[in-house]
Amino acid sequence: MNIFVSTALLALALASSPASASDLTVQNAFARATPKGAQVGAGYLSIRNDGASADRLTGVAVDFAKAEIHEMKTNNGVMEMREITAGVEIPAHSTVKLAPGGYHLMFVGLKHPLIKGETVEATLTFEHAGALAVDMPVLPIGAPGPTGGHDMKGMKM
Ligand SMILES: [Cu+2]
């Protein structure tokens, strides 16, 4: 009985922090602070799909910029990124990371800088799960974030 109760409480505690829609859970979301006058910013997160069928991240919206889904790749030694218009597949029973050096959320035409210590909200849109609001704490410029990775210096815009 005691074991059952503590397990239930633990599950409740774990369920209370990440944003969740149906079988999808968003974890480790963060945005990077931007220098004054910067036109673009970036955000990162992990999406876990506990469901038996795939879903697809098809869009993202924020109120402080135009938001796009991007992918960064190294091409002949040069970091390049492009917009992913077809969305990002989240396969069943797996986690897809949007992390520095790969997929990321790109905030284009910032209306204001992203300030370290603040939190911004993004709304993710999934093909099946629909809209999901996510809070993204703003970490210092260049922060690799909770999921690790390298910084974006030298990327080709
Ligand atoms: Cu980008």
- Between residues 121 and 141, the one the model is more confident about: 121
* Structure tokens, 15: 């369920």
Q: How far is the CA of 6 from the centre of ligand 1 (A)?
A: 43
Q: How far is the CA of 104 from the centre of ligand 1 (A)?
A: 6
Report which of 45, 57, 70, 54 is spatially closest to residue 134, judged by C-alpha positions. 45
- How many whole angstroms separate alpha carbon 152 and alpha carbon 82? 14
Q: How far is the CA of 67 from the centre of ligand 1 (A)?
A: 10
pLDDT of 155 strictly over 50: no
pLDDT of 129 strictly over 60: yes
Q: How far is the CA of 69 from the centre of ligand 1 (A)?
A: 7
pLDDT, tens digit (0-9, with 9 covering 90-100), for 28-68:
999 999 998 999 999 999 999 999 999 999 999 999 999 99
Question: What's the whole-number average pLDDT of the chain?
Answer: 85
Q: How far is the CA of 71 from the centre of ligand 1 (A)?
A: 6
pLDDT of 110 strictly over 70: yes
Which residues, by Cβ under 5 Å, contact ligand 1, an ion?
70, 81, 106
Report which of 110, 128, 118, 98 is spatially closest to residue 62, judged by C-alpha positions. 110
pLDDT of 151 strictly over 50: no
Would you place residue 134 in the very low, low, confident or very high pLDDT band (cuts 50, 70, 90)?
very high
Q: How far is the CA of 10 from the centre of ligand 1 (A)?
A: 37
This prediction has a pTM of: 0.78
The burial class, CB within 10 Å (0-12 / 13-18 / 19+), for 105 is: buried
Q: How far is the CA of 7 from the centre of ligand 1 (A)?
A: 41
Domains in the chain, please, with CATH?
A: 19-139 (2.60.40.1890)
Q: How far is the CA of 70 from the centre of ligand 1 (A)?
A: 5
Q: How far is the CA of 88 from the centre of ligand 1 (A)?
A: 14
